[in-house]
Amino acid sequence: MADEYLKDAEERMQKSVDNLKREFASLRAGRANPALLERVLVDYYGTPTPINQVGNIGVPEPRLLVIQPWDRSLIPAIEKAILKSDLGITPSSDGNVVRIAIPQLTQERRKELVKVIKKRAEEARVAVRNIRRDAMDQLKAREKKGEISEDIMRREQDSLQKITDNIIKVIDKLAESKEQEVMEV
């Protein structure tokens, strides 16, 4: 029964890691990646809709994204949504598709992105530690009620700490690899 708490905690920690991966994918590293546009919402007949749901996003070249909307009347709305986003990129269109040229990152912008990466990684670590704390509290409460013995509680706490340490190592590796990708010229 105590294993259920560990499995639940591990699943929740893994979700934090998955969320961090999605956030890192949306950070611009100087290469064209459709994930850059994941958070950009287009006004689709009054409804905020993700760009990938109003057209196809292609990467014909390493520094170029092409959005081909299914409804050509959406091209101005797509351009407006990209300009309003915090991506710092300017779209251009020819009436059929929207092209986004991804500029080279400046050294200053790279350093800013590294700070963002470190901040998001720390947020993920804090989330994992909060999950560990909640699971520890549940274990202590069960031990107080007499549902589990003190020995089992200690063993489960050790297992939970090992899981937490492993997840935090994964977060650190993700952050380190994303930093290297961003600093790569």
- How far apart, in whole angstroms, are the C-alpha atoms of residue 94 and residue 139? 61
Q: Is the pTM of this model over 0.85?
A: no
**pLDDT-based confidence at 149, cuts 50/70/90?**
confident
**CATH architecture of the region 34-101:** 2-Layer Sandwich (3.30)
**In this predicted structure, what is the pLDDT of residue 30?**
66
**In this predicted structure, what is the pLDDT of residue 185?**
61
* pLDDT over threshold 70, residue 2: no
Q: Is 30 helix (H, G, I), strand (E, B) or coil?
A: coil
Phi-psi region of 31 (alpha: psi -120 to 50; beta: other; left: phi over 0): beta
Q: Are 38 and 58 in contact (CB under 8 A)?
A: no
* pLDDT over threshold 70, residue 16: yes
**In this predicted structure, what is the pLDDT of residue 17?**
92
Least confident of 19-28, 66-75, 128-137, 155-164: 19-28
**In this predicted structure, what is the pLDDT of residue 5?**
78
For 35-71, the pLDDT digits (tens) are: 778 788 898 888 888 888 888 888 888 888 899 998 8
Question: Domains of the chain: which residue ranges?
Answer: 2-25+106-183, 34-101
DSSP conformation class of 49: E
Q: Residue 74: CB partners within 8 Å, gap ≥ 6?
A: 42, 44, 54, 55
**In this predicted structure, what is the pLDDT of residue 62?**
81
CATH classification for the domain delimited by 2-25+106-183, as one of 3.40.50.2300, 1.10.132.20, 2.60.15.10, 2.30.30.180 = 1.10.132.20
For 160-172, the pLDDT digits (tens) are: 999 999 999 999 9
Cα→Cα distances 85→39, 48, 80, 81, 104, Å: 8, 13, 9, 6, 18
For 86-134, the pLDDT digits (tens) are: 777 888 888 888 898 887 778 887 888 888 889 999 999 999 999 999 9
